[in-house]
Structure 1
Amino acid sequence: MAKLHSKLIWVILIALLVFVAYLYWMPNQHNGATRGAAAVAVKTAKAETKAMIRSISSLGTGIANNSITLVSPTSDFITELNVSEGKKVKKDEVIARLHDVEERARVTELEGVLTEQKRQLERLKNLANTQATAQSLLDEQQTKVNTTLAQLDIAKAQLAEMTIKAPFEGYLGLRQVSQGAYINSGTVITTLDDLHKLRVAFSVAEHYLAEIKVGMPLTVTNAAYGDINFIGTVSAVDTRLDPVTRTVTVHGMLENNDLRLRPGMLLNVKLELDNRMAMQISEKALVPQQQKQFVYTVDENDIVHQTEVTIGQRIPGWVEILSGLKEGDEVVVEGIQKLRSGITINRVGG
């Protein structure tokens, strides 16, 4: 029995010695591993000041700067038609003329009557100066002259309606009638578009309304011309928002002297909201913690330190740094998940 107790005591002592040795050996192994471990491989970049361009994209529709449909103001036969599809016309150039014999005759008749009435009026004025005629006759003749003048104005207006002119310089569209045809009032003759400048109408979310100003630069592309950029500016912002989509319609103006852009085109619009110099880093460098933002900076000994930063505007892939860093500071942009303050890093990649 005594031998059994003695053996048990030795077993317990040996177990205690093994446990104490284990406790001593593990920390040393850990510290040795830590001291001998390779530096963490990461990718870094430097904080730099460069142009920060914020923009929004939208789909727009091309609209002619000036665009009308030329219609007949009255009913009659077409005696002259100067419509060639795609033809450039100047302001006040005759597009079409209707049969206007009656209207011309009416104007000539009234001009003759007016001339005679004015002659009679002058005679009565001369007689009135010598008290040889009544004032009532003079007033009556003046009324006749005024009435004829009004009738002549109406006749001239009716005659003018028989000639359809271009109200501005532009390009004619497709011809809808033929010379010699009898057309009714309101019949479409052709279209006229001013294409030297093209407006683009597009919608912008209510969120950006306060930032949009007339004169802001915008860039337009179209599938027909690939990556070619057409440069323009914001020309107008609607005073109302769409209550359903909560968007505001914006118009931009583009120079189109080469006539490559046409009304009705689907246009990809990129509106530049802001363009300024700002210190920036890659968004991938940020380590959010609660309501704060941190980055890992690298010192001259290749040791990282967690640093709090204040951020400003964001653009795809980049973020503005307002405080916490200075120009040229090196930060970790890849491999952050393996880091903590005090760790040595090894730079990899470009």
Structure 2
Amino acid sequence: MFKRSALVIGGLLILLLVLGGIKYQQIQQGMAQLASFAPPPATISVVEAKSEQWRPEIASVGTLTAKAGIEMSAEVSGLVEGLYFRSGQKVNKGDLLLQLDDGVEQANLQSYRAQAELAKVKFERNQTMFERRNISETEFDESSANLKVALAAVAQTEATIDKKAVTAPFSGVLGIRKVDLGQYVQAGESLVTLQDVSSLYADFSVPEQYLPSLYVGQTVLFRTSAYSDVDFQGKVIALDAKVDENTRNIAIRAEVPNSDGRLTPGMYADIRLLKRDPINPVTVPSTAITYSPFGDAVFVVRKDNEGQLRAYRQYVKVGERRGDTVAVMSGLTAGEQVVTAGTMKLANEALVQLAKQ
């Protein structure tokens, strides 16, 4: 009985060993096939890295202001007797815009002129009599003072009459009219805006670290929301005398020609301030750059020792960006083939194939 059981157990062990050996051989063959399996090459697009000459730029934002801009108002109160402009009209320096009623002042002027004439006659008569010693010096001084008072009253009334006529202090474009004929206006009340838009100022600021790169005459390029595809150009005409101690920025003013009238005071400006000396960076499309916490990189395509195309990761130092183009300051050489499409599916030294054009 014991022999029989031993034979059965021995047969089972032998069977298990044979089955285990067969399974082990199958596993080894599967692992060998898996080790020899290579994924198909990734399909990518490449461009050649190029060396270009760029003028370094300092980015900022600013506001356009009129070279001269005011709120027109009368210096004295009065009833509007004449309106000689319309909203949006272009005017020249000295053009009459508005006339206030000056009837009372004109009447007073006639009275003061008559009084001045009388005072003049008395003064001349007393002057002759004083030279002959017929009157006292006190009487002569009194007639002289009366003449001066009368002439001052005339001059004062003429000045008031002149203030009743509102004229353009400089050439420009009027805004929307805020007054009507027959309306009573107070001194200092806004009548209309006047803006000289033949050229504008672009006011902006940059961090103090750029101070050594700033100079009068520096070229400024900018775009506005209204003309997002147009580069307007101006020149720096002034730098502030000090750095703002709160923001650590320095204020800059540039003058911008506006002969075509497309620009308007108050517009937002996306500004690029060009530095003096050009640089020659290697440039690539922005899609070629892969960003990560470990550093920015590109994938460069070249053949390995067996002649197969592979993508190699190269860490680079990224500089300025202009539109869809990025300047690479180091880590890349002009002429190298850089991956621009398909970077997300690449690992270092991955096999690749070029997409058909």
Interval containing the TM-score (normalised by the shorter chain)? 0.5 to 0.7
State the Cα deviation string for residues 168-214 of structure 1 (Å, max 9, x = none): 22345548333xx4845449695253354475899x8x9x6557989
The structure 1 residue matched to 2:76, chosen from 73, 76, 81, is 73
C-alpha separation between the residues in 2 aligned to 1:102 and 1:20? Answer: 126
C-alpha separation between the residues in 2 aligned to 1:47 and 1:209? Answer: 32
C-alpha separation between the residues in 1 aligned to 2:356 and 2:58? Answer: 29
- Partners of 1:47 and 1:328 within 8 A in 2: yes
Q: Relative to structure 1, is the Cα distance of residues 287 and 260 closer, same or farther in structure 2, using a 3 angstrom cutoff?
A: closer
1:268 Cα deviation from its structure 2 partner: 6.1
Identity level (%): 14
**SS of corresponding position for 1:292:** coil
**SS of corresponding position for 1:299:** strand
- Partners of 2:70 and 2:194 within 8 A in 1: yes
Matched with 1:336 is 343
Matched with 2:44 is 42
Matched with 1:159 is 161
**SS of corresponding position for 2:37:** helix
Q: Relative to structure 1, is the Cα distance of residues 160 and 315 closer, same or farther in structure 2, using a 3 angstrom cutoff?
A: same
**SS of corresponding position for 2:170:** coil
Does structure 1 residue 193 correspond to structure 2 residue 233?
no
Normalised to the residue count of structure 1, the TM-score between the two structures is 0.67
Does structure 1 residue 28 correspond to structure 2 residue 35?
no
**SS of corresponding position for 2:21:** helix
Matched with 1:270 is 270
Matched with 2:301 is 298
1:147 Cα deviation from its structure 2 partner: 4.5
One-letter identity of the residue aligned with 1:309:
V
State the Cα deviation string for residues 313-342 of structure 1 (Å, max 9, x = none): 345655432211111222223333443333
1:109 Cα deviation from its structure 2 partner: 3.5
Q: Relative to structure 1, is the Cα distance of residues 73 and 38 closer, same or farther in structure 2, using a 3 angstrom cutoff?
A: same
Q: Relative to structure 1, is the Cα distance of residues 22 and 286 closer, same or farther in structure 2, using a 3 angstrom cutoff?
A: farther
Q: What is the RMSD computed on CA atoms of the aligned residues? A: 5.0
C-alpha separation between the residues in 2 aligned to 1:82 and 1:348? Answer: 71
Matched with 1:82 is 84
Does structure 1 residue 108 correspond to structure 2 residue 110?
no
Normalised to the residue count of structure 2, the TM-score between the two structures is 0.66
Q: Relative to structure 1, is the Cα distance of residues 297 and 176 closer, same or farther in structure 2, using a 3 angstrom cutoff?
A: same
Q: Relative to structure 1, is the Cα distance of residues 306 and 65 closer, same or farther in structure 2, using a 3 angstrom cutoff?
A: same
Stretches of structure 1 lacking an aligned partner (at least 5 in a row): none
- Partners of 2:116 and 2:147 within 8 A in 1: no
**SS of corresponding position for 1:68:** strand
- Partners of 1:62 and 1:261 within 8 A in 2: no
- Partners of 2:199 and 2:259 within 8 A in 1: no
C-alpha separation between the residues in 2 aligned to 1:333 and 1:235? Answer: 42
Matched with 2:334 is 327
C-alpha separation between the residues in 2 aligned to 1:12 and 1:184? Answer: 114
Tell me how many residue pairs correspond in the alignment. Answer: 329
From the two aligned structures, give the one with the greater strand fraction.
1
- Partners of 1:297 and 1:305 within 8 A in 2: yes
- Partners of 2:97 and 2:168 within 8 A in 1: yes
**SS of corresponding position for 2:350:** coil
State the Cα deviation string for residues 12-40 of structure 1 (Å, max 9, x = none): 44235325533542353234433xx5322
The structure 2 residue matched to 1:348, chosen from 332, 349, 355, is 355
Matched with 1:220 is 224
1:272 Cα deviation from its structure 2 partner: 2.7
One-letter identity of the residue aligned with 2:349:
G
State the Cα deviation string for residues 238-268 of structure 1 (Å, max 9, x = none): 9999x9xxx999988665545566678xx56
State the Cα deviation string for residues 6-65 of structure 1 (Å, max 9, x = none): 42343244235325533542353234433xx5322222233234458776678x798795
- Partners of 2:219 and 2:274 within 8 A in 1: no
- Partners of 2:202 and 2:255 within 8 A in 1: no
C-alpha separation between the residues in 1 aligned to 2:157 and 2:14? Answer: 136
One-letter identity of the residue aligned with 2:15:
V
Matched with 2:171 is 169
**SS of corresponding position for 1:340:** coil
One-letter identity of the residue aligned with 2:163:
E
Q: Which stretch of the first structure deviates more once superposed, 307-316 or 141-150?
A: 141-150
Q: Relative to structure 1, is the Cα distance of residues 151 and 257 closer, same or farther in structure 2, using a 3 angstrom cutoff?
A: same
One-letter identity of the residue aligned with 1:10:
I
1:279 Cα deviation from its structure 2 partner: 2.6
- Partners of 1:56 and 1:271 within 8 A in 2: yes
- Partners of 1:295 and 1:308 within 8 A in 2: yes
